A and B are shown apart, each in its own frame.
Chain A
Amino acid sequence: MAKEMLKGNVAIAEAAVRAGMEAYFGYPITPQTELLEHLSKRMVEEDRVFVQAESEVAAINMVYGAACTGKRVMTSSSSPGISLMQEGLSYIAGSYIPTVIVDVMRGGPGLGNILPSQGDYWQVTRMAGHGDYRPIVLAPASVQEAIDFTILAFDLAEKYRHIVVIAADGQIGQMMEPAELPVMRPPSTEVPHWALSGAKNRPPNVILSFNLNGADQEKVNIAIQERIALIKAKEQRWVEHYTEDADLLVVGYGTTGRIAFTAVETARENGLKVGLLRPQTLFPFPDDRISELTDNIKSCLVVEMNAGQMLDDVRLAVGGQVPVGYYGRMGGAVPMPEEILEAVEAEYAKLQGV
């Protein structure tokens, strides 16, 4: 497959088709609508299921029902729509059903605007739905990564029977750049043992997130937490640059991780010992690697398009051993590399006195 110019939203949609997605349910919302539009054509061409739901509430419950059949299904939305889906996501989490969700994040709170944002970090990594659960969250920083993470999302969802969120921001969804799509993977014909397929020659399968017995429901919770612990141990992903001798570690993901890379390169050219760690999984957060790096760095700078949400996770990872600074823009504002460079220089200047 050759590289082609692809828009992020379209790339994710096409990657999902090629990952063997058999059903998509969604509702229009900017800045992810091209994803839904692309699938309204492609899913029909492939003789698969596309339904434009009456709301995000219905869309996520269609996903829940469809995923109960054991087939690959997905929905996509943007921040306000993801808020509406929290109810369904909580039920899905309580039922151990593999599901892929795309959140092309926009400015909030409320209706906010349609510009790029990372204001849903807490919502997607903690999940605002009721009860104890945390999905796997993948944060692409390029159109290519958006494609690769879409394939990975389906694989991880099935491997752990878990929710996987692709947390892209509006910038990733809307921009075009060269990327390579994978070859078409045909949908699997295997029916998982837990799926609803009709109680023929076996006792009925039942899928539910419901248990009136307190002790039994605690067991359900323990099982969910055991799975999350396994995910934490196995699935932390990140990329890093110039960390070997860095005094200052910049941490940023998605679009801000990418802009921060430009700032870090300039800082290096200017002789500053600055490195970058870009988490690719926001959950599980790459705690282990950041904790390891903490032994050698003197300070940390977190860069996000929100008021400082991943900041909490970085602080937990460094465990108070080094100071953690923060630079961010909010409400749809995207930082320029120069702004981040200034923040890097200011944070670095503090080290000179140390």
Chain B
Amino acid sequence: MDIPMEIVYQRPESLTDTHTHYCPGCGHGIAHRLVAEALDELNMRERTILVAPVGCSVFAYDYFNVDGCVAAHGRAPAMATGMKRLLPDHIVLTYQGDGDLASIGIAEIMHAAARGEKITTIFVNNAIYGMTGGQMAPTTLPGQKTTSSPFGRNTDIAGYPIRMSEILAQLDGSVYVVRRSIHDVQNIRKTKKAILTALKVQEAGLGFSVVEILSNCPTNWGMTAEESLTWVEENMVPYYPLGDFKVRDDAKELV
């Protein structure tokens, strides 16, 4: 008997078939897939250049089926600036974690946004340094235990977390600045939509666009994958509220 078969789900063309090194339950895999789907849907793959960071997503160049490179820690927005200025018709993406973007690379991201660089930044915030084994990040929550804040982040000693989207939204060169989360299906779908908008903002040449994605790190948080998603919802979302911090008037029709 012939059973009609139809492919209803497959790997986006913008992802390679390499097995990722990400830990089970890690949000990077979801974020990668959403970016790749968006590139496919907007027919951008063949003219996209990805700037990978230093951190867990350092291997992103191996997972995306696009031209790519690896920046020095925090310098992805500067590298992307150099590329985009010479290749204005290409889509230039930086994919950065919170240690990369909010700590060592805070000058580069702020100035790229202030200059209104026509690039898109995917900012994955999981409140910890993953690659080096779970140290305190600038985004680590007050009281959160890490391998370098073993008694919990003491704000007297280590200060307070940085809310990057709120800061970047203040800069006139920023056109689209939003925070989303991947802790449940509804939010994953919203994240995908925001990535599509950010890429359209770049395509239209309007200026800087960034999607901050709250994500989980079950390994370094010492939780199961499911627990870690609940932790994002119950602890990160209250500190890092989801929403649109800036959608400049000329970008509204792209949302």
Contacts and interface: CB of A to CB of B under 8 A. Distances in A.
B85 A51 contact: yes
B49 A64 contact: no
Interface in A171-186: none
A63 B78 CA distance: 9
B114 to A, nearest CB: 8
Interface stretch (B68-76, B133-141, B164-172, B192-200): B68-76
B35 interface: no
Contact of B108 (A58, A91, A200, A205): A58
A320 interface: no
B46 A199 contact: yes
A197 B108 CA distance: 23
Interface residues of A, number: 39
A13 B67 CA distance: 31
B72 A88 contact: yes
B47 A198 contact: yes
A198 B90 contact: yes
Given A58-B78, A65-B79, A91 B72 contact: yes
B201 interface: no
Interface in B97-134: 107-108, 110-111, 115
B49 A63 contact: no
A55 B72 CA distance: 15
A187 B120 CA distance: 28
Contacts of B110: 54
A65 B83 contact: yes
A61 B104 CA distance: 14
Interface stretch (A66-74, A283-291, A331-339): A66-74
A59 B78 CA distance: 7
A87 interface: yes
B82 A65 contact: yes
B8 interface: no
B72 A206 contact: no
A261 to B, nearest CB: 40
Interface stretch (A207-215, A237-245, A296-304, A342-350): A207-215
A205 to B, nearest CB: 5
Given A61-B108, A199-B45, A51 B81 contact: yes
B203 to A, nearest CB: 14
A206 B108 contact: no
A121 interface: no
Contacts, number: 126
B199 to A, nearest CB: 15
A199 B65 contact: yes
Interface string B39-81: 0000001111101100000100110111111111001001111
A23, A55, A69, A200: residue with the most chain B Cβ atoms closer than 10 Å: A69
A198 B48 contact: yes
Given A61-B72, A62-B78, A198 B107 contact: no
Given A65-B83, A196-B83, A54 B108 contact: yes
Given A65-B80, A198-B47, A204 B108 contact: no
B226 to A, nearest CB: 30
Given A64-B79, A206-B67, A208-B69, A69 B107 contact: no
A66 B82 contact: yes
A91 B68 CA distance: 15
A32 to B, nearest CB: 20
A199 B66 contact: yes
Given A23-B86, A58-B108, A66-B85, A196 B67 contact: yes
B168 to A, nearest CB: 15
A54 B110 CA distance: 10
A95 B46 CA distance: 22
B108 A209 contact: no
B254 interface: no
A23 B82 CA distance: 8
B69 A207 contact: yes
Given A63-B82, A67-B82, A87 B72 contact: yes
Contacts of B80: 65
A198 B49 contact: yes
A57 interface: yes
Given A62-B79, A66-B86, A196-B67, A55 B107 contact: yes
20 contacts: A54-B111, A57-B78, A58-B78, A61-B71, A63-B82, A64-B79, A65-B78, A65-B79, A65-B82, A68-B49, A68-B69, A68-B83, A69-B87, A95-B69, A196-B69, A196-B83, A199-B65, A204-B68, A206-B67, A208-B70
